[in-house]
Structure formats: structure tokens, C-alpha cells
Amino acid sequence: MIATWFAIASLTVTLYVVLDGFDLGTGALHLYAARTDAERRQVLASIGPFWDGNEVWLLATGGVLFVAFPPVLAAALSGFYLAIIMVVWCLILRGIAIEFRSHVADPLWRAAWDVVFAIASTLLCVFLGAALGNLLRGVPLDATGYFALTLFTDWSARAPVGILDWYTVLAGVFALAALTGHGGAWLALRTDGAVRERARRAGRALYAVVALLWIPMTLATASVNRDFGAALGGRPLVWAGGAIALAGLVAALRHLAPGRAARPGRAFAGSCAFLAGILLATAAGSWPVMLRSAADPTHSITAPGAASSPAGLRAALSWWAIAFPLAIGYLVLLFRLHRGRARPAADGEGY
């Protein structure tokens, strides 16, 4: 039962990254892929029906932790307080930029909100990568099960650690390249004309950067987290996740190519597979640790040590079995209703 809920938590994180990831990547590419007002409204139209629903999976992850692993949620909310506030502000600014942009028919007003949208989206990509880097590297958990993080210390990945160091910054850069490439694949699928061509070129170039960074990122992770390094050779799910990610990366690079080789649907599917495979390998390599102590591994919070009572987990699973199919059904319906190329909304409308 504990392993099942660990898998559910990993699944909700994966769904958030894959689904909201194309929203964030689209925002990070916004100023490059779209140059005119009509093109920028087309970009917003491509994510308009989806972006707020995709963010729900972040709340779902919090709900899963609250139900199944409350000590993990309690420690993370207190220790990552500064980082969480920064993420919340970026989420707020993204939503405001999308909704407010077309309320005033003034070029300066719209340009200002376009910049806000792009910056907030870019920062969120970096923050998500740095957050995963912090979890893999470890945080300064003590015997009480809580920790506090400064923004940075000496930029090494050794205790005492801060939010930022060479490893978490590398993770942030890797996530930025991957999620922005994911956004490029989405725009190549959902738009046409000049926007599609710019997004295709950007997506292919960014996934080439991901391919160059992937091995150094894996080796860096193994160096800062010896347990993860040891798991790379002995857990089949780690290798399965790596194989899925590799196949997805090859598909994204191949089908974002120019000319007849361009198949945006397959490129986007490959991009989704790459992100899902990376997160599967990460979760499999981290089990059973959910919050790793960088200073003393005995203080790490594990899934068995943080799990709710067996009765509570069983009761929650019965509700999950009802709610999850409904959420997936809604998601499928939404993508079906809004399939095809996005068209710019009428002037004055947000999307």
C-alpha cells in the first residue's frame, strides 16, 4: 500500500510536469515564437483551454502528500517556504498576464504583460528543476524532521547546503531546456505559419541542448547522491524510465526536423515520453526516500516512515479510484474538444 501511494505521488508529479510543462515552455518561448499581436494571441489561444486545468495536478500532488505522507508535506512546506512563495508569485503573474493582456487595446500594455508572462514562465521552469535538484541532492533535515534553507551558501553541493548551488543550478538549466523544448513541440503541433516554424526550430535546438546535458546531469546526480548512483545499476524501473526517455528524445529530435520529416504530433508525443521517462527513472532511483538529508542519511524521511495508517491509506485509495478516472476523463474530453490548430482570439479577448 505504501509503495502504491508513492507511485501515485510520482504519477501526479509526472502529470503536472508533462501537462503544465508545455504551458510553461510555451510561455518561455512566447517572445521568440510570436512577434506580432496576432501571433501572440495565437500562442495564448493554443494553451488557453488547458493552462488552469493543468495546474490542478500541482494541487493534486499536495493533496496526495497530505493524505498519504503528511510529514513530508509538513517538512517541505516549512523548509521550502521561500521557494514556494516565489513559485506562487510566478503562478499568479502568469495567470494575471494571460487574463489581463487584452483588456486594454494599447501596444505598451500588451507588451508589458507579454514580458511578464515570458519571465514568470521561464522562472517557473528553472524553479521546478532546482526543486528537483534539491530533493535529489538532499536538504539539511535534522532529527526533528524539519529543515531551513538559505538561498545559497558556498555554492558547493555539500552540507551546509542552500537552495542554489552548482548542482541545483545545473538542474534548473536542464529543466529550462527540456520544458522550453516541450513548449516548442506543443506550439509546432497547435499553431501554423511563422509561429509554428519558429517553435519547431527552437524546440529542436533546445532538445539538442538536452541531449548534450543529459549524461553530465546524470553523472552529477550520482556524485551528489551516492544512493541514487548505486540504484542506477540495480533497479529495472530506472533503466525502463531511461529507455522511455531516450526513445522520446530521439522522436522529438527526429520529428521536429524541417521539411517532410516534421511530424509535430509524434514530436510532442516524444517530448511527453522524455519527461515522463526521466521522472520515472528518478522516482525509481529515489525509492523509498522522499526527503533526503544532506548532512545525515539517518534523518532522511522515507515513504514507510512518513506514511499514514494502513486504514487511512486504504480509505483514501477508494476515493482515488473514483476521482482519478474522472479527472483523466475530463482531460481526454478537453483535448478532444480543442483539437486542431489554434486560431487567434478576437481582439479584446484573452484567448
pLDDT digits (tens, 9 = 90+) for 72-98: 999 998 888 888 899 999 999 999 999
Cell of 161: 547546503
Written as nine digits, the cell of 342 is 489554434
Assess if residue 332 is contained within a domain.
no
Interatomic CA distance for residues 302 and 71, integer angstroms: 10
Averaged pLDDT for residues 234-247: 93
Name the nearest CA neighbour of 168 among 182, 178, 158. Answer: 158
Per-residue pLDDT band for 343 (boundaries 50, 70, 90) equals: confident
Mean pLDDT of 244-259: 93
Asked whether residue 235 is domain-assigned, the answer is yes
**How far lies 69's CA from each of 40, 81, 257, 268, 291, in Å?**
42, 18, 44, 33, 11
Distance in angstroms (rounded) separating the CA atoms of residues 113 and 100: 8
Q: For residue 168, give the C-alpha cell.
A: 541545483
Whether residue 201 lies inside any domain: the answer is: yes
Within-domain flag for 95: yes
Domain count, the chain: 1
Residue 6's CATH number: 1.20.1630
Residue ranges making up the domain that contains 58: 2-311
Is residue 133 in a domain? yes
3-state DSSP: the chain helix, strand, coil percent, rounded to 5? 75, 5, 20
Task: Give the pLDDT confidence of 18-40 residue by residue, as tens digits.
Answer: 999 999 999 999 999 999 999 99
Does the pLDDT of residue 110 top 90, yes or no? yes
Residue 104: CB atoms within 10 A of its CB come to 12
Contact partners, residue 107, CB within 8 Å, separation at least 6: 37
CA 143 to chain centre: 30
State pTM to two decimals: 0.94
Give the confidence band of 149 by pLDDT, cuts at 50, 70, 90. Answer: confident
* Cell numbers standing for residue 163: 537552495
Asked if residue 265 is part of any domain, the answer here is yes
Residue 253 within any structural domain of the chain: yes
